[in-house]
Structure formats: structure tokens, C-alpha cells
Amino acid sequence: MQSQFYSFQANGLKGEKVSFSDYQGKVVLIVNTASKCGFTPQFEGLEALYRQYKDQDFVILGFPSNQFANQEPGDEIAIANGCVVDYDVTFPMFSKIDVNGEQAHPMYKYLKRELSGLFGERIKWNFTKFLIDRDGKPVKRFSPYYKPKDIEKFVTPLL
């Protein structure tokens, strides 16, 4: 049976539709991001993790959200420029979405149901992370305080 994760799609930063079935067989780390957050420097660690393991079918998917203290106010062009210019991000980034509430992206509703955290099915803040195994199963949720270098020990056994 195919994982529900692969049934979702989202818009890339350039507006193109991206099907998550494109990531079948990969280990995926989902991150809600913001360019004006105290955790924004995590882009550097995320990019390092991505570059180290991308050739082993690991991918990070970044989802900007402006739901926390207006920390992602820009449009897709501003988001792309900030990620690329400031942090040299090469992993896929998507258009801005909601991660909480009625308008939350369906993938986030699914992930929060599968791996509820300290705040239940709510995302607490920017840079909450979800690790998905090669079969599309959500296996671990990380708080924003969890640094990308500390996630590596959970990624490598799945590769």
C-alpha cells in the first residue's frame, strides 16, 4: 500500500506543481521555514546535511510560513533570494503555506496527525522538522530547537 505522504503536492517557489510521489524511495526531511526568525541560521546546517547525503537519496523540503510573528512577510521572489543569497540553499523550497489552522496545507495536517508533538497537532514555531522514511512513513518529529547536525544520527540509519 502506497503511503499517503506521496499523494500530496505543493507549489514550488516558481509556482510549478510538485508531486510528492517524485520523492518515493527517498528519505525526506520536511521543514517549515522563515527568513526573519531566530532559527533562520539553521538554513546553513540544513544545507550542509542536504549536501552531505543528497547522493544517497536524501532530500530536504522547505516550506516557508508566515504564521509565527510575521517572520516570513515576503513573496516567493524575496524568499528565494533570501535562501539562495544568504544561505546558498540548494534543496527544494516551496511557496508559502499555512502549517496550522483551517488553511493548513493537507500534508501538514497529515504529518501533525501522524506525529503529534508537545503542543498536540499544532506546530509550535518555525523550523519544526519531520523525518519521513523511504516508504513515505513519518518516523520522527523535531522541535525548532533541534539543530540539523543533531538530526544526522536519525537520517543515516534510514539511508
- Give the residue numbers annotated as catalytic, written as ranges: 37
Cβ neighbors of 85 (< 8 A, separation 6 or more) are none
State the amino acid at position 144 in one-letter form.
P
CA dist 95 and 101 (Å) reads 17
Positive/negative CA dihedral, 110, 115, 53, 147: positive
Helices (H), 36-147: 42-53, 76-81, 87, 106-114
Q: Which of 48, 49, 51, 46 minimizes the C-alpha distance to 63? A: 46
What totals of helices (H) and strands (E) does the chain contain, helices first?
A: 5, 6
CA dist 73 and 60 (Å) reads 22
